[in-house]
């Protein structure tokens, strides 16, 4: 459990208004919001900082979900935190914009298409050695910004919109326990050999060309369980002789090209945005996203990091207000990283205490 004297957390689902639950002797706040509450949050922060007894520090980050909800705010109160790295959206955009030759006579073309730049955002927080990293939400429809993250605290970056930020909680705390859940169910590569061992025998980058010296896609084409309906499929890559904790397991979504699975596309690709390096000659298991498996429940206390469930259409935020003292949450449809491993399967959840 987190030492409550040095750290205090509070999450509100479906809040009617933004209320700060500030404990005694805590004057620094990290506030997580979903897009539906963003305007209220910004106004509340502005009002708070106009007071004579204003807070020392406030860091606001907008994410897709909090504890499974798209209408919530989450507070983490502490004595002090430190921002050790950051990048503004302006600096990010300049860095990503291709440089043009000043002497070129070619006309400048404006790209008016909508782009999702959330993959170029990052909220990186270290709490007692637990260091999750998560993408910010797209807030274009909430406040006209691609994403929203800002700091207020008598700093040169006050109120600047940050595309990335790295923050450390300056407290003597330690995360002692972690738990992991997902909504994935294993499918044997060969239904008549459920206990068989399968290993990558040919690959290039994120492309898996063969498993056990056979066409990778062939295993899927010949698998009735795979072919009986549309599924999001995942490969678990692992070393057979190495034991790791569940939250360090590597699960990568299969990316299917326009040719599908067949003779013309004998190989399969795994998500390049999640993969760190090459797939390697490792053991592999097959999983699918199982909607019949229950959504992970929210604990009574802890730090909850999640890969958000996909949003199905537009739903007006509503429902009964739920308050959870001792819980701090954040989630992204793009997943999250812990210990160098990206978790991008919808429904993945890590709880740290």
Q: Are residues 59 and 135 in the same domain?
A: yes
Q: How many CA atoms lie within 13 A of 262 on its CB side?
A: 5
Which range marks the domain in which residue 268 is found? Answer: 184-289
Q: Are residues 155 and 213 in the same domain?
A: no
Residues 318-353 have pLDDT tens digits of: 789 999 999 999 999 999 999 999 999 999 999 999
Q: Are residues 220 and 75 in the same domain?
A: no
Has residue 334 been placed in a domain?
yes
Domain closes at, from 269, 289, 309:
289
Residues 38-70 have pLDDT tens digits of: 999 999 999 998 887 889 999 999 999 999 999
Residues 155-169 have pLDDT tens digits of: 999 999 999 999 999
Q: Are residues 128 and 217 in the same domain?
A: no
Cβ burial 287-314 (10 Å sphere, 16+ → b, else e): bbbbeeeeebebbebbbbbbbbbeeeee
Has residue 50 been placed in a domain?
yes
Residues 252-272 have pLDDT tens digits of: 999 875 445 544 467 889 999
Has residue 13 been placed in a domain?
yes
Number of domains into which the chain is organized: 2
Distance of CA 176 to the CA centre of its chain: 22
Beta strands in 121-274 (DSSP E): 122-126, 133-134, 149-152, 162-169, 178-181, 184-187, 200-204, 207-211, 214-215, 233-238, 250-255, 268-270
For the entire predicted model, the pTM comes to 0.90
């Amino acid at each position: 459990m987190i030492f409550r004297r040095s750290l205090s957390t509070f999450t509100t689902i479906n809040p009617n208004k933004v209320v700060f639950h500030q404990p005694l002797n805590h004057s620094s706040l990290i506030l997580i919001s979903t897009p539906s509450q963003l305007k209220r949050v910004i106004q509340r922060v502005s009002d708070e900082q106009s007071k004579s007894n204003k807070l020392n520090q406030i860091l606001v980050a907008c994410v897709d979900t909090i504890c499974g909800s798209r209408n919530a705010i989450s507070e983490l109160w502490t004595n002090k935190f430190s921002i050790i790295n950051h990048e503004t959206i302006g600096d990010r955009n300049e860095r990503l914009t291709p440089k043009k030759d000043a002497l070129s006579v070619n006309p400048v073309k404006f790209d008016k298409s909508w782009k999702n730049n959330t993959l170029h955002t990052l909220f990186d927080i270290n709490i007692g050695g637990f260091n999750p990293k998560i993408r910010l939400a797209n807030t274009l429809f909430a406040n006209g910004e691609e994403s929203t993250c800002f700091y207020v605290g008598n700093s040169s970056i006050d109120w600047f919109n940050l595309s990335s930020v790295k923050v450390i909680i300056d407290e003597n705390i330690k995360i002692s326990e972690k738990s992991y859940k997902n909504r994935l169910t294993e499918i044997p590569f060969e239904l008549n050999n459920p206990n068989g061992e399968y290993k990558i025998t040919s690959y290039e980058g994120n492309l898996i060309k063969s498993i056990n010296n056979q066409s990778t896609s062939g295993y899927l084409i010949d698998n009735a369980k795979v072919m009986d309906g549309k599924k999001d499929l995942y490969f678990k890559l692992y070393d057979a002789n190495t034991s790791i904790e569940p939250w360090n397991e590597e699960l990568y979504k299969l990316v299917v090209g326009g040719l599908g699975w067949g003779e013309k596309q004998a190989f399969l690709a795994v998500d390049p945005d999640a993969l760190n390096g090459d797939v390697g000659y490792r053991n592999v298991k097959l999983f699918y996203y199982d909607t019949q498996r229950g959504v992970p429940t929210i604990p009574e206390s802890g730090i909850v990091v999640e890969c958000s469930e996909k949003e199905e259409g537009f739903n007006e935020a509503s429902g009964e207000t739920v308050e959870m003292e001792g819980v701090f949450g954040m989630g992204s449809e793009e997943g999250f990283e812990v210990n160098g491993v990206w978790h991008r399967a919808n429904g993945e959840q890590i709880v740290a205490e």
